[in-house]
Structure 1
Amino acid sequence: MSPQDPWVQVSEVLRLIRTGEAQTRPEIADATRLGRNVVTLRIQAAQELGLVRPSGDQRSRGGRAAEVWELSGCAGTIAVGMVAENHLRVALADLRLQVIEDRRIPWDRLGEQEATCERIAEEMDALLAVHPTPQLWGVGLGVLAPVDFDSGRNADPVTAATASPRWPRGFDFRAWFVQRMQVPVWVDSVSNLMALGASVEADAPDDLIAVRMEQGVGSGIVSRGALHRGADWIAGEINHVTVKEDPERICLCGRAGCLDSFAGSWAIELDASKAISQGRVTSLSKISPRPLTADDVVAAAESGDIVSVEIVLRAAEAVGKALATVVTWFNPRRVVIFSYTHLTLPTNREV
């Protein structure tokens, strides 16, 4: 469709209203360079579809006050799913991105792609059964792997050795969910989606980095207001950046000194287990027989356990060094840190 196509113009009007860049007829006319009458027709078309509505406010730029328009959330719903290390998150949201219901499902079968996708789809079905109207318009999915955004398949990682055995390369998430849910589907990495979420906050700058710390460390990059995915879809994969040449720090990729080998939750847990096996005095030794987790290490550090404090600060220092380099070459206005498990506060200090 050409820029003169009425529906292209309606789409642009919706984008301006949704982002808050322009919400009155005069503002939209200035932003799109469309005539006032054309803007009125495009807003009317969007209103007839239930996509926009008057907010009840008016805004003046010195003359007659103009009506302010806002996105209407009641025309449809979006189902979203996210794959995490030991659980799944599934939610239903309206078109204004207001969450209707959010569910967390324990899950330890990440190696089984179809079973994982089916479990997410089943939970989406359950949410839609509870909230049957309005109808489902689309599905969004976040996975723990780089994603070829054009095809909806998970992409090659930074190095072949870092390919997750749980998510073999080339699995077609988009095709699977399109067939299962019968709606349009968007798939991206969790890191990119976190960056995208941070970028739509009211005070978000155009240039930011969102860092995700979980089993591994990843990041998403927003440049000039848009996600930067890179030529091969792996932009932001900082987990295999070398932070220190240390032959004792062997990463899952087989190399020494990667960021993940210091700050991934698996590395935190390995350091704690080594300290216990070496006979160091630590409250962590009382946790067995259940498996030790990074959460346990952070909780012990917060309680003053010396061994745990050393482990957490070493990991935070590694993340801080890596991000200092990233900040130097990218020059973001903001760094946002997401952590489900560990390191948020000490890492903030190190950065």
Structure 2
Amino acid sequence: MDRPEQGHGKPALEDAGGILSLIATRRASSRAELLQASGLSRVTVTQRLNALLLSGLVRETEETLPSGGRPTRVLAVNAASGFVLVANIGETHIHLAAMDLKPAIVAQTTIPFTVESGPNVILTQIEDAFSDLAAEAAKTHHFFVGISLSLPTPVDFKRGCVVGPSVLHGWDDFDIIGRLKARFDVPVSVENDVNLMTISEHRRRSPLTDDMLFVKIGTGIGSGMIAAGHLFRGAQGAAGDIGHIQFLSDDAPLCRCGKFGCVEARAAGWAIARDLSTRGFKAETARDVIELVEQRKPEALMLVREAGRTIGEVISDVVSIINPSLIVIGGTLAQSGDLLLSGVRELVYQRCLPLATRDLTIELSTAQDDSALFGAAYLLLEDVFSPGNVGRLIGRFSMQPGT
């Protein structure tokens, strides 16, 4: 039985979590859809929705839906009602941003760092930058929703910590979430950058695609998988680590992970740079490889084309297992375009059964350098607006002065 509610004050707002979650997750975009999805009475839905509208958490957009009579306005979370702080740790720089609840960037900054500094020093840098961004965002967006970090390492998502081997030496099992919560006292998410790029690609490019594979080919190689519309992490969060699938041979190259014959050791940016260096070229990173490709150096063209075939070979195995309808290739080496993509396509269509490739699309990513940031924001927002957590969000929001 619905609890009686009077007026549009805090009691109605505190009970409105289910309605807010339906709107935020787009399972309901109108009053009629809220009635159907919630199973509540019309009076209760009206009271709780009015409380959300009055609080500023929800708004009526200019977009309308046909309703059989007068068109009804689409309901949505008010993007300006709050902000999230996100950071993407790269190889030499950290990109940080405050984003609204759409998400869209409100303010951003980039700071240099060195991996050797260790987690305490680097997290202090991030915290200080976050404090400045929060002060700027709060001028217009007020409510601080939470923090989300993107890391270039394997991540145990359930614990929110790095698990080695990784490029972030000294971070293994460090309590990142506890450290950030101690300073900011907000929800914190920590995830691998490739998984976040996968989420961003899915949400911004093809949200209606149920099964998708995203492959990042840069200095290293990794992938993320969308299964039944959701990110698939596996039991320990290690799903998608295709860079360390091994192709053994008599001359298997040594990988950075300490094993022989990994896909990374054959086709990643650092491996191609290694092979170019032995041929007399100055190359250390994936960006150096792309510069040589743009200069049309035959050796660089040949190695990138061969890398495409190697990556296509391992992708074909993944296609046979998960049967995606869309494969997106991103990362620095994707800037070589069809030179890389043609090799991937060649091996996938050659090795996979016709049923798996009949409606398969393989294309290059169009995402910008901020895709991991947007993925971090999407991950956090989906978590805080989920049915199990939205009550805590409203509780914190209700405690703001003037709410």
State TM-score, norm by structure 2: 0.75
Q: Does 1:65 align with 2:87?
A: no
Greater shift, 146-155 or 169-178, is seen at 146-155
Q: How many residues align?
A: 330
Q: C-alpha displacement at 1:90, in angstroms?
A: 0.4
Cα 1:125/1:221, change in 2 over 3 Å? same
Sort the Cα spacing of 1:9 and 1:246 in 2 relative to 1 into closer, same or farther, 3 A. farther
RMSD of the TM alignment (CA)? Answer: 2.5
Which deviates more from structure 2 when the two are superposed, residues 165-174 or residues 47-56? Answer: 165-174
How far residue 17 of structure 1 moved from its aligned partner, in angstroms, is: 2.5
**Cα distance per residue 1:31-74 (max 9 Å; x no partner):** 33333333223322322332111113332232343232121022
Counterpart pick for 1:129 among 135, 160, 177:
135
**What amino acid maps onto 1:250 in structure 2?**
L
Runs of 5+ in structure 2 lacking a partner? 1-10, 346-403
Structure 2 counterpart of 1:347, which letter? Answer: L
Q: Which residue of 1 aligns with 2:36?
A: 30
Q: How does 1:1-351 map to 2 (within 5 A)?
A: 10-109=16-115, 112-133=118-139, 134-155=142-163, 162-164=165-167, 166-201=169-204, 203-204=206-207, 205-243=209-247, 245=249, 247-276=251-280, 284=281, 287=282, 292-340=284-332, 345=337, 346-349=339-342, 350-351=344-345
Alpha-carbon distance change, 108 to 145 in structure 1, aligned in 2, over 3 angstroms = same
Q: Which amino acid aligns with 1:247?
A: D
Question: Aligned in 2, Cα 1:64/1:322: closer, same or farther, shift over 3 Å?
Answer: same
Say if 1:249 and 1:338 are closer, same or farther in 2 by CA, change over 3 A: same
1:241-299: CA deviations, max 9, x gaps? Answer: 124535241112232221110222221221111111xxxxxxx3xx5xxx643212222
**TM-aligned CA deviation for residue 24 of structure 1:** 0.6
| CA displacement at 1:210 relative to structure 2 | 2.0
The runs of 4+ residues in structure 1 deviating greater than 4 Å are 5-9, 341-344
Segments of structure 1 that go 5 or more residues without pairing to the other structure are 277-283
Identity %: 28
Question: Whose helix fraction is larger, Structure 1's or Structure 2's?
Answer: 2
Contact 2:97 2:109 survives alignment (8 Å) = yes
User: Residues 291-326 of structure 1: CA distance to partner in whole angstroms, max 9, x if unpaired?
Assistant: 643212222122221111122122222222111211
CA shift, 1:344, in A, is 5.5
Q: Which has the higher contact order (CA 8 A, sep 6+)?
A: 2
Question: Distance in 1 between the 2:199 and 2:112 partners?
Answer: 25
Classify 1:88/1:340 alpha carbon distance in 2 versus 1 (closer, same or farther; 3 Å): farther
Change (3 A) 1:102 1:260: same
Closer, same or farther: CA 126–263 of 1 in aligned 2, 3 Å = farther
Query: TM-score w.r.t. structure 1 length?
Result: 0.85
C-alpha spacing 1:147/1:254, structure 2 compared with 1 (3 Å): closer
Match of residue 4 from structure 2: none
